[in-house]
Amino acid sequence: MRNTRPLRQEPVFHKAGVRPRSPAEMLEPSRAPMRPDGNHEPVRPPPAGGLIRFVSGVLTLLLVIMVVVGALSALLYHQFESAGPLPVSRVVAIPKGEGRIEIATRLERQGIISNRWTFIASYLLRNALSDSPVELKAGKYEIKKHASMADVLNTLVQGTSILLKLTIPEGLTSQQIAERVRGDPDLEGEITDIPQEGSLLPDTYRFSKGMARQELLERMQVEMQRYLALAWANRRADLPLKTPQEAIIFASIVEKETGRPDERSRVAGVFMNRLRTGMRLQSDPTVIYGIAGGQGRLGRPITRADLRQQSTHNTYQIKGLPPTPICNPGRSAIDAALKPAETKELYFVADGSGGHAFSTTLTQHNAAVSNWRKVERGRRAAAARAATAESFAAPQVLNAGSAATASSIPLPVRKPAR
């Protein structure tokens, strides 16, 4: 008997792109791939060779080096071209025989450049890229404010030294200094603000033609701040001066009291002793400043009425220091004020020779004043004789109102006893 049981059909596995023979065959699932035998390892790509790994490492290292060099180059260029730290223009002197490292160190120490190694690296790179090597030349140069390292390097390589200068004497007021700066034809621009009294350092300033007048005054201020800070740091510890401003006030009085450098320390010692004992300073220049102010000159001899006049600066009437300096003192006056002579002297008066006679006691001082008055009388007599001789020698006839007589000659006023 024929078996009518339908035969079991094996699943049909399709291959991609093979069209099924019937709709039923299309519905049948594809046969899953056979599981690999356990004895067979999965097929892997062959490992890279050692040469390939070496080349890959070298390329990676070169890429890292290129990135680092590029970053350093960008940083170097930024520092080299950026504005420098110099707040105002100033003069730098490069001595002969100084090497590039010493020059870069000097520039960094004086606040002209921010990093000496960047400066040196830029100098070496410039020489490496140039057909002919360049040298940093010795000389005095004006460096503009905020000058970049590139500007500084070009200035030193070109060797264009500054040629112009302006001398500011010690003891001038800020108004008098401003007038000198305003009158220099090689400077340009207006002075917008006269600096405070005592804030300018007298010196010989070098500059290039066309520099702004206000900028030169600012340079004088920076130099005073720099020198005062150094002198204040090295002052004597026992001084009755509390601040650098008091030191400048004191130094300005010393500056105006004597024009002889060898006397400044001694004059400072006398005034310092008076401050310690509570005596009034009794300084004639403070009286003049109280009347004339920034003009600096009274235009006439000082009188006893002037000594009695009340003002903020008249040290015959006030105790201690005046509220502001009376001039711009020089370096030697500042040094004398902060390192005065150790003396017990309390008085001094002119001796007729351009200097002063110093005394410890009032008796000694009165004798010195008496001698000074004799000198004054001799000068008046000599002036009268000279005026009389001149009137007889004059070929023209003088009017009665303009005849030169002894009584019409202004007499020098006795310097009051201190």
Instruction: Please say if the pLDDT value at position 336 is more than 70.
Output: yes
Cβ neighbour number for residue 257 with a 10 Å cutoff: 24
Between 74-88, 164-178, 399-413, the lowest mean confidence (pLDDT) is in 399-413
Top pLDDT among 248 and 12 is at 248
Between 16-20, 138-142, 161-165, the lowest mean confidence (pLDDT) is in 16-20
Task: Name the token pair of 23.
Answer: 């709709």
Q: What is the CA radius of gyration of the chain?
A: 44
Task: Name the token pair of 242.
Answer: 């509390």
Confidence of residue 224 (pLDDT cuts 50, 70, 90): very high
The pLDDT value given to residue 355: 84
Q: What integer is the mean pLDDT of 187-215?
A: 93
The string of pLDDT tens digits covering residues 81-126 is: 788 889 988 888 888 889 889 999 999 999 999 888 889 888 888 8
- Residues 143 and 86 sit within 8 Å (Cβ to Cβ): yes
Distances 81 to 24, 119, 126, 252 between C-alpha atoms, Å = 83, 11, 14, 43
Span(s) in the chain for CATH 3.30.1490.480: 81-158
The pLDDT value given to residue 219: 95
- Residues 15 and 21 sit within 8 Å (Cβ to Cβ): no
Top pLDDT among 138 and 9 is at 138
The pLDDT value given to residue 403: 30
The pLDDT value given to residue 332: 96
Q: What integer is the mean pLDDT of 307-326?
A: 94
Instruction: For residue 142, give the DSSP letter.
Output: E
Task: Name the token pair of 291.
Answer: 């009347």
Distances 254 to 99, 164, 272 between C-alpha atoms, Å = 42, 31, 10
The pLDDT value given to residue 417: 43
The CATH superfamily label for domain 81-158 reads Endolytic murein transglycosylase (3.30.1490.480)
**CA separation for the pair 21, 32 (Å, rounded):** 20
The string of pLDDT tens digits covering residues 269-285 is: 999 999 999 999 999 99
Q: What integer is the mean pLDDT of 20-42?
A: 60
**CA separation for the pair 217, 192 (Å, rounded):** 10
The pLDDT value given to residue 51: 76
Task: Name the token pair of 149.
Answer: 């390292």
The pLDDT value given to residue 405: 28
Q: Rounded mean pLDDT of the chain?
A: 82
The pLDDT value given to residue 106: 93
Task: Name the token pair of 393.
Answer: 């020698």
The pLDDT value given to residue 350: 83
Residues in contact with 189: Cβ distance below 8 Å, sequence separation at least 6, in sequence order: 212, 213, 214, 215
Confidence of residue 212 (pLDDT cuts 50, 70, 90): very high
Instruction: Please say if the pLDDT value at position 398 is more than 70.
Output: no
Q: What integer is the mean pLDDT of 234-259?
A: 95
The pLDDT value given to residue 34: 62
- Residues 249 and 325 sit within 8 Å (Cβ to Cβ): yes
- Please state whether 231 falls in left (phi above 0), alpha (psi between -120 and 50) or beta: alpha
Instruction: Please say if the pLDDT value at position 391 is more than 90.
Output: no
Between 193-207, 284-298, 369-383, the lowest mean confidence (pLDDT) is in 369-383
The pLDDT value given to residue 21: 64
Instruction: Please say if the pLDDT value at position 409 is more than 50.
Output: no
The pLDDT value given to residue 227: 97
Confidence of residue 35 (pLDDT cuts 50, 70, 90): low
The residues facing 223 across adjacent strands are none
The pLDDT value given to residue 216: 95
Query: What is the chain's length?
Result: 418
Instruction: Please say if the pLDDT value at position 407 is more than 70.
Output: no
DSSP 326-364: SS---HHHHHHHHS-------EEEE-SSSSEEEESSHHH
Q: What integer is the mean pLDDT of 312-326?
A: 95
Q: What integer is the mean pLDDT of 363-390?
A: 82
The pLDDT value given to residue 112: 92
90 membership: H or E segment, kind and range: strand 90-94
The pLDDT value given to residue 11: 52
Confidence of residue 330 (pLDDT cuts 50, 70, 90): very high
**CA separation for the pair 117, 121 (Å, rounded):** 6
